[in-house]
Structure 1
Amino acid sequence: MNLQLFIAFISCFFIALFITPLVSYLAKKIGAVDKPNKRKVHSEVKPRLGGLAIYVAFLAGLFLLPIDNHTTTFIFLSTLIIVITGVLDDMYELSAKQKLLGQFLSAFVLIYGEFVIDYITIPYFGLVELQLMSIPLTLLWFIGLINAINLIDGLDGLAGGVSTIALSTILIMAIGKEQILVIMLCVIVTGSTLGFLFFNFYPAKIFMGDTGSQLLGLLIALISISGFFKSVTFLSLFVPIMILGVPFMDTTFAILRRLVNKQKWSQPDKSHLHHRLLARGFSHPKTVLMIYGISIFFSVLAFAFSLSTLEESFFLFLLLLVTIELAAEFLGLMGQKKPLTHFLTGFLAPHKKKP
């Protein structure tokens, strides 16, 4: 199995590496390009659709490994739907409702294939069957993660790098628990993403586009359900959320910010974490590296959280909240000068450019 995993990883990496330039050429030919505007940070027209290279490499890995036919079939159908949605969006810029429809369909295929969060184990209460809540909760998890990864895809190498850090953390945990399916999926998704990142690091030659960010969000959500939600306690449900702390944090504040400012939930803005760091004077590469560092911190904390007792978990969770507040103050993300309210008001406040 170790040799098979190694071969699958190398194969996915090199397939993505060699196909990405071809996808870049295709994107330019069909007009799937990202043009600069006041919300974007790049100043040149760049091809998107890079997620297509990740997808082709991922499919190769999916069929290389001994994954059962049921799992392979439903993953293939679901990812095909999300990739088609992403390709159409990268070419024609679909409306939020049209993108959401594609996300729902891809999620429902996996739910129909029985990839669901069906129970949790609560301390002092034992195993709790979710029953009627199982499908809505699973659907929320899929849609939430797809859009969380999509929202952080704003700088060269950011979404791919954060996803790789998260997948590597999940892989380490899965190896310890001998979760074979999770291990196999992590290996091929990581290999495919790293091959693409060779062309996506600053200065990027191609963007992954919605094709890539939605695909990665869907796959990470699937991997989490196949691992964390099948044999964990209630407190451990926070582990995948902590591993994906950056996209979850950014998405949560984006939703709150738009509610407070009475904007549409789908309306884009320039107040995401990476925009704020850039506005504070950090360069493009330094901003990406800083967010990588934050992602690694969240991953380490999640790993410690997964091994801790009930009392230690509460302490680590408190540490996480305090650290977020201190980091926000250090990075100048606060809007007020009152402790513990800085972080929230800093993100909710309308973004102001430096004079």
Structure 2
Amino acid sequence: MNVLLYVLGFAAAFAVSLILTPFVKRFAVWVGAVDAPNHRKVHTRIMPRLGGVAIYLAFAASFLMMIPALDGYKANAAWAVLLGGFIIVVVGALDDKMELSPKVKLLGQLAAALIVVFGFDLKVDFVNIPFASSQNLGEWLSIPLTIFWIVGVTNAINLIDGLDGLAAGVSAIATATTLVMAVMMGNVTVIVLCALLLGSILGFLLFNFHPAKIFMGDSGSLFLGFSLATLSILGFKQATLVSFVVPLLVLGVPLSDTFFAIIRRILNRTPISVADKSHLHHCLLQLGFSHRSTVLLIYGIAIFFGLSAIVLSQLALWISLIALPILILALHIGAEAIGIFSKTRKPILNLLRKAGIKTSQFIGTRLMK
């Protein structure tokens, strides 16, 4: 398979998404699948949802168009994304229209994950442990781990869908990063699927970037999360270096935001399922950044995570093991600085400030002498 075919697939997905999105927008308004403003949301007017339907249809249509030319790819992997994604999109679209309960949405996500695992036998088979050989995982561990990963990433993308173009742009960056990694590893299946998904997202993003004309809704955020989770299993289950960390970095923005949200709600003694206005994008808006600047800044963070994943995958193991703790510490400091954990609890920043004062006093005393 040559590069031209990948480019044509990307272009086809982009074009179909670009054409379908305006029709989906009208359909969303017609069926009443709209998003009304409230105290948690930043938009001030009713917006059509169901953008995820356009993304999915563009992805599926471009894949079906490419089937005759595809060679050397795993068909079961593609159908896992399509069929599991169909369930996710249907559940998400129903939620966009009538707001399903969290339990019903979770059941839909579990059904899609089970299709991937049992219907197409796609799961995390082993884990690479530093300075040791790969450890095979028995089904008793690999199956629940895979289901947990798919459901977790699916919901992580959903949590960051709070500003125009945010979830779509971050998902596009994660997809592009996965595409680059797949090219480096020669994984034809992931290259094809990433090229199609990326084109579908970018075609929709033209209508979704601030000021948005349509929202992706749960149909979009859940489908993108599901797709990225499945593609990461396909792309990194056989990575030779830090195979567990690389997909975490690729999805660094949504996963870290989800992790911080869980910690924040534990610290505040509130239920984990209760929504709040302290996510990354909320904190940046509260610091005075504009809507567009906030989205672009988070794009930059996502690109940094993506580049870190690519670089770490190529570094010697001992260098990666040194770089990872530094990266995690920097992430934690940044989270404390913007108040994503708490507006008052900032232990590491307080420690650094105290250390800085002592250092300044020491330097001043030495200069006086």
TM-score, normalization by structure 1: 0.92
Q: Measure, in 2, the Cα distance between the counterparts of 1:337 and 1:97.
A: 33
Match of 1:139 in 2: 147
* 1:90-112 Cα deviation digits (max 9, x unpaired): 00001110100000000100001
Match of 1:51 in 2: 52
Do residues 84 (structure 1) and 90 (structure 2) align? yes
Q: Measure, in 1, the Cα distance between the counterparts of 2:350 and 2:24.
A: 43
2:128 and 2:135 in contact (8 A); partners too: yes
Q: Which runs of structure 1 show a deviation greater than 6 angstroms over 4 or more consecutive aligned residues?
A: none
Match of 1:348 in 2: none
2:333 and 2:349 in contact (8 A); partners too: no
| AA at the equivalent of 1:38 | H
Match of 2:22 in 1: 21
Do residues 267 (structure 1) and 287 (structure 2) align? no
**1:328–1:223 CA distance, 2 compared to 1 (3 A):** same
Q: Give matches, 1:57-68, under 5 Å.
A: 57-63=58-64, 64-65=66-67, 66=70, 67-68=73-74
Do residues 167 (structure 1) and 175 (structure 2) align? yes
**1:246–1:68 CA distance, 2 compared to 1 (3 A):** closer
Q: Which has the larger radius of gyration?
A: 2
1:179 and 1:227 in contact (8 A); partners too: yes
Runs of 5+ consecutive residues of structure 2 not aligned to the other structure: 352-369
**1:10–1:342 CA distance, 2 compared to 1 (3 A):** farther
Runs of 5+ consecutive residues of structure 1 not aligned to the other structure: 344-355
Further displaced range: 203-212 or 328-337: 328-337
| AA at the equivalent of 1:174 | A
Q: Measure, in 1, the Cα distance between the counterparts of 2:240 and 2:265.
A: 34
Do residues 185 (structure 1) and 186 (structure 2) align? no
Further displaced range: 63-72 or 24-33: 63-72
Q: Measure, in 2, the Cα distance between the counterparts of 1:295 and 1:29.
A: 35
Match of 2:76 in 1: 70
* 1:250-307 Cα deviation digits (max 9, x unpaired): 1011122223333332221111010111111111000001101111111111112111
| AA at the equivalent of 2:76 | H
3-state DSSP class of the match of 1:236?
coil
Q: Measure, in 2, the Cα distance between the counterparts of 1:274 and 1:337.
A: 19
3-state DSSP class of the match of 2:163?
coil
3-state DSSP class of the match of 1:120?
strand
Q: Measure, in 2, the Cα distance between the counterparts of 1:342 and 1:78.
A: 46
* 1:216-263 Cα deviation digits (max 9, x unpaired): 001101110001112334x23101101111101110111222233333
**1:69–1:302 CA distance, 2 compared to 1 (3 A):** closer
Further displaced range: 64-73 or 77-86: 64-73
Q: Measure, in 1, the Cα distance between the counterparts of 2:278 and 2:110.
A: 27
Number of equivalenced pairs: 342
2:169 and 2:299 in contact (8 A); partners too: yes
Q: Measure, in 2, the Cα distance between the counterparts of 1:340 and 1:71.
A: 44
Do residues 223 (structure 1) and 224 (structure 2) align? no
Alignment counterpart, residue 94 of structure 1, candidates 87, 96, 100 = 100
3-state DSSP class of the match of 2:258?
helix
2:127 and 2:243 in contact (8 A); partners too: no
| RMSD value, Cα | 1.8
Further displaced range: 286-295 or 74-83: 74-83
**Identity score, percent:** 47
3-state DSSP class of the match of 2:128?
strand
Further displaced range: 254-263 or 45-54: 254-263
Q: Measure, in 2, the Cα distance between the counterparts of 1:84 and 1:331.
A: 36
Q: Measure, in 2, the Cα distance between the counterparts of 1:151 and 1:297.
A: 20
Match of 2:319 in 1: 312
Q: Measure, in 2, the Cα distance between the counterparts of 1:329 and 1:265.
A: 20
| AA at the equivalent of 1:304 | V
3-state DSSP class of the match of 2:289?
coil
Q: Measure, in 2, the Cα distance between the counterparts of 1:17 and 1:244.
A: 25
2:210 and 2:292 in contact (8 A); partners too: yes
